[in-house]
Amino acid sequence: MATRLRDNRKLFELMQQMFQAQQGSTEGASELSTVLAGMSTPATTAELQQQEPEPEPEQKPVVESLSKPPPEEPQVSWEDQVSKEAPTPPKGKATEDLPGGKYFVKGMIDRGWTPEEAAGAAGNVHVESGFRPGVKSSAPGENSYGFLQWNRERLRGLMNMAEARGLNWVDPDTQMDWIQMERTGESVKYGGADERWAYRKAFTGGGTPGEIAERFGRWVERPLRLSDTLAIRQRAAERYSI
């Protein structure tokens, strides 16, 4: 690089001498030709780039790859907590206990119900939700959830109660509390429907678990076609009787 600078300086000096000399001076032209012949060609852009020092590669932080995301508490709405699996009517299984059946019966007895009342309600829960508190109805366009497949104000009241008490509305005990509140009328405090009349009609007169199951289905559950599953509800109620 220093050699090129010296050659360029000498060329400049010779050109000045040429302009000062008379036109046609062979001596100046000869000297100029000699210098030009001895000068190296100007450096190309590629050569200049090669002469510049290579920049240090960027040091990127090392990140450990995770096989699965770290555990954290998901922030979800109540719709996301609901199971997407629709309930399947337990046809042909009316004499088989479903998981949660005995727990439901005992839970309602602990809340003051008679064994027959608890078993009669259990026969209906057996058909409606299979004792899955987060299940959604399989009926097209029907937004019903939980043990008794609540919807509209009955479902909204359940969720309001759970939120007010800091509970999870899909918890089995929360839903059993809500059933008891519907019976006593406390459900109205949380925006739920007043269902006291329905529970009175279901339980007045007592009877066997199967008889109570029929009245509970007709007045409390109120399915579109109770007759289609009535026999299953009644046999399941007798099965869950303690």
Q: Residue 10: phi, psi to the nearest 5?
A: -65, -40
For 63-74, how does the pLDDT look when each residue is reduced to its tens digit (9 = 90+)?
Answer: 333 333 333 323
Length of the chain, please?
A: 242
For 22-34, how does the pLDDT look when each residue is reduced to its tens digit (9 = 90+)?
Answer: 555 445 445 545 5
What pLDDT is attached to residue 105?
97
Where along the chain do its domains lie?
2-41, 81-239
- Please give the angle made by the CA atoms of 41, 47 and 51, to the nearest 5 degrees: 125
* 81-239 is a CATH 3.40.1010.10 domain: no
What pLDDT is attached to residue 86?
34
Low-confidence ranges of the chain (pLDDT < 50): 5, 25-26, 28-29, 32, 35-36, 39-43, 45, 48, 55, 57-95
What pLDDT is attached to residue 84?
35
- Please give the angle made by the CA atoms of 209, 177 and 239, to the nearest 5 degrees: 25
207-211, long-range: CB within 8 Å, 24+ apart, which pairs? 207/116, 208/116, 208/238, 209/115, 209/116, 209/119, 209/120, 209/123, 209/234, 209/237, 209/238, 209/240, 209/241, 210/120, 210/123, 210/234, 210/235, 210/237, 210/238, 211/120
What pLDDT is attached to residue 113?
98
What pLDDT is attached to residue 78?
34
Please report how many Cα atoms fall inside a 13 Å half-sphere around the Cα of residue 90, on the Cβ side.
Answer: 24
Report field, pTM of the whole predicted structure over 0.75: no
